[in-house]
Structures are given as C-alpha cells and as structure tokens.
Chains A and B, each alone.
Chain A
Amino acid sequence: MSLKARERAVGVSLHHLHKDFADKVALEDVNLEIEPGTFLVLLGPSGSGKTTLLRCLAGIERPTSGEITIGGTVVASARAFVPPERRGLAMVFQDYALWPHLNVRKNVAYPLATSSRAKPQRDERVDDLLERVGIAHLAERFPNQLSGGEQQRVALARALAADAGLILFDEPLSNLDADRRDQLRVEIATLTRATGATVVYITHDQSEAFALADRVGVLNQGRLVQIDTPEAIYRSPANAFVARFTGVAGEFPVTVVNERGPVHYEVALPFAPDERIEALALERFEPGDSMCLFVRAAGVSLEVTGSAKGIHGTILDVAFTSRGYEHVVSVGEGATLSKIFAPTRFDRGSRVKVCFDASSCFVMDPTKGK
C-alpha cells in the first residue's frame, strides 16, 4: 500500500445506529468501528439489515437515530446530515447501475467530473482504469451491449475512478454466474486493496465473505452479532445463528454428557447413544442439557467401515471435485452431514465411519441468536 493510498483510507464509526421502517426494525443498536484500510464484509441473510446499513453509510438512507462518522467527520447524527455527494465515497451496486445513455468510458469518467484534474489527466486516468479492470476494448460500447460480468467490471472501474477513501459494495457478485463470480471477486479483492481504501462489502454468501474479508461482521435481524476475522468466526462462532450461517455441515440435537475441560464437553447423539463426540462450547452447560451440535465440514473425516474410531454412517451422495470427493453422509435418522471431503471415493450407499474433530464441533443453545 503506497503512502498516498494509506492517506486516502478513512476510518468509519457507527454508534448506536437505529433504522426503523414502517413495518419493521431494520437496524437495532449497531456499533461498529472500522480501521482505515480494512476490508470489512458484512454477512447476513436477506432481511438482516446489511443493505440498510450500507445505504445509511452511503447517505442514501437516513438513520432514525445514532451517529455515523467517516474519516473523522460526523456524516449523520441527530443534528447533521451530509448528503451522499459530499461523503467522498464510491459504490458498486448489485444491479450495476450503469447509465444506459452513456458509454463505458463516460460511465467510468462520471466521478471525475467534479475532480480538479484537467481533462487530459482525467482521460488518462480513465484509460488507466479501463486497462486495469480489463475492459479497455469495451470503452465505446454502451451498457446494454455488455454481459453482466462486463457491466460489473465497468461499475468497479467507475468506483475506483473516484479515488474514494471508502468504497461500498452492495452484493456485487450475486447477479453473476459462478465462473465470472470467482474471477471478479479476485479482481475486486486485489484492485481495491491496491488503492488502500477502506471497503465495506455486503453479501449473503459465506464463502465469498470469508475469501474476501479482513474482518467479517455477521448481521442478524438488524443486530451485529459478531465481528472478527474470518478465522476467528469460523473457529469460534458467537452463537447458533453465526455458526449456522458461516457454514455447517450438519446440526443435530444432542444431550450434554459431561465436561471434559474448560470449554470442552462430551455429548451424546440421540441416534447413537453409546457414542461420544467432543465439542467446543462458549458457555457452561449441565450434564443432561439438551443442546444442539454444530459440525463444520472441515472437522469431519471419513474412515473405512472397519476402523475403530468414529460413529457409523452411510454415504448418500458423492461428488467429484478437482481435489477429491465431497460426500453427503447420513449418520442417523434425519441427520446428515454435507460437503464432507475425502481424497478417495466412497460410493453411494456404502457404510463408513465418521470421525469428528473437536475443534470444529460446537455445542450450543439452538435458540440463541435466533
């Protein structure tokens, strides 16, 4: 990150942010500090408030109460409101929002109209951006002549043109097809980091969030449930909702048997009462408590049926991936684990032994975080 880029980056603070609509509460007491230069991804299902939060940051939506500070300036509070055009932002929209009457070049050049650069420098910058994003050959085309991926690239170039200290992304990949998605995700990650700007990116796709983010904030029904690095969230989800949303291979109701350590418990599965599984917990439980076991896919391994370890299971489905095989395993009545990786193939219907790694299993109260 260059010195200039580091200067450009701005920090963002949200204090007690509330947003009510007529029929529901979109954001409830959200507090957030974003360090300059951070790539923050807000993750949550639809209706969780992430879009509203982004729009409040952008100034397109006005919070009901609370305070938003960008780069040290209060942009929204009970007393003040700075309109979007004065917040020094850029934004990439889910529906691309390219102006159909302007060609690609003019779309990208739009944010520069208010800059102090002279025309030749503006043109040069536009050319540079088009080059960087890989759409220089499309400069004279109009949006309706481009594919979805190309349009989003133009939107990205436009956002970068603004030289903004804060770039917002509103689920930019959700309208693209899968192969384009990966490609563009990488470009977003690299190009924005090269500018050094602070990024707030929202998505409902967990793998996308974890791939992109320096920090991930999980939102549920207007509340910021957990904010941490992707690894920390993956390894220590704050509650059942976060666990579920950040990728579980399966979840089963279990009974707590005994305590094995400060945060370790042994639990019994209802359909395999003699088997014990060790799992992490964030709170104290009593033996006999009925809780829920959340299992990450990475913590499950498959052994041949003769193996001593693990519980019995049956393969329901197997899918070839380039590195190996992903299986769906049934371990009991209605209890399945999906996305279980093994380097070798277990055929459908075959019996296996399923082993659990304690650090990837969590026992939690399923009602919390709902």
Chain B
Amino acid sequence: MLIDADGVTVRLGNELAIDRVSLCLHAGEFIGLIGPNGAGKTTLLRTLLGLVAPTAGRIRREKATYDYIPQRANMYNGITPLSVLEVVRLGSRGAEQPAREALDRVHMEAFAHRRFNELSGGQQQRVAIAKALAARTDVLMLDEPTTGIDEPSQAEFYAILQSLQRQGITIIMVSHEVESVLKLVTRVICLNRTILYDGPPEHFETDKYLPQMYTAQHRQLHHHHADPAGAPHA
C-alpha cells in the first residue's frame, strides 16, 4: 500500500474542504478522481502529498517518489523542455540522454528545444510528466490535465497515461471528462467533500453520483446534435 489515509478532514480557513475521507492507494492503480467544482479534489491530492496538513485524521505514505502536476505548469514558461528536465536530472553526467528518453516516452522529443510557453496545454502537461519520469516518479498525481485540450490530443494523452500505467507507474488523475475517465481507469473515486463512490468504473453510475454534471453534459451533447448549422464535422 502506497498511501493510507484515515478519516482525513481538511479545513481551509472557515471552509470544510474535505470531510473524513479514508482511502488506500495501491501500487499500479490508475485512479480517476471526479466530482463537482469545489468538491475538494485538488485539496485531497495536495493533502495526500503532504502539501496541506490535515486538520484531523492521519495519512501514512510509503517511501516512494511522488510528483504532482498542476493544471497549468506555467512556472516553466520561457525555458525549454530539456531545461525543465534539468530541474530533476541535474548533477548526473550525461544527463541529456535520459532527459531525451523521458521526452520520448511522452512523444515530445521533437520539441526538446522549443520554449515551454510556445507549447500547447497538452504538450506542456506531457513535458511535466516527462519531468516526473526523469525523476523516476512512482506515483503521479495529475490535476485536470486535459482541460482545454482538443479531443485528438486528449486521446493521445490518455494513451500515454495507459502506457505509463503498464510500466508500473501509479496514477491519480483529477478530471471532469467523466466518460473518458471511466473507460481509462482501474478505479473511480467520486468526491464531494466526502467520498461518494470508490470502486471499479464498471459499477459507477454517473447519473446517481453526478446528476448535475451529467445533465449539463447531456444537454450540451443534445444541443450540438439539434443544431443543423453547427460547426462542420472534423
């Protein structure tokens, strides 16, 4: 077991962000963490990583290499992907070869010398993941990595995550793309301050746990189909 959280409560100021959450994270899992906006998903990740101290409850973390990739890794703006990797690989001689290999694993080798802020959102996420790989990260926590990324890039991104999982990397991903997540992950956790659902994706009933989110998506879908003058199909 990598992380064991028991009855974790987090208050941020006066607000109860997470309420008595208990969960275990096992090696090799690919967890989709879903829930409405303001449900405490990001806070939960940060608490599991020790960046936020729980108000109550306890967290036990196995010794392993963890990394957290925020939604926008804009702190790397202005430097090249190779330099982003330098952040974790420096000190070792011949550091460029493993750095290039890490970029290759996320299909970003061709962009090694571009400036980070010239890359698309999805490419930036992939560079951040490469940084984690170069640091030999065992557990990768991603915070809405596919927000604002077009669909073909999303598919490529998910394929990369799946291949990382097959290579033994444990992943927790916060996402709003519920339908894609359900096809991808080995376990779904639905959070709204407390855990509403924690189990295999096959048994997750979207309309039961996320009625609002589901109807919103459904309506959007419906709207697209009903619009005869809609955008041409790509």
Q: Do the two shown chains form a genuine complex with each other?
A: no
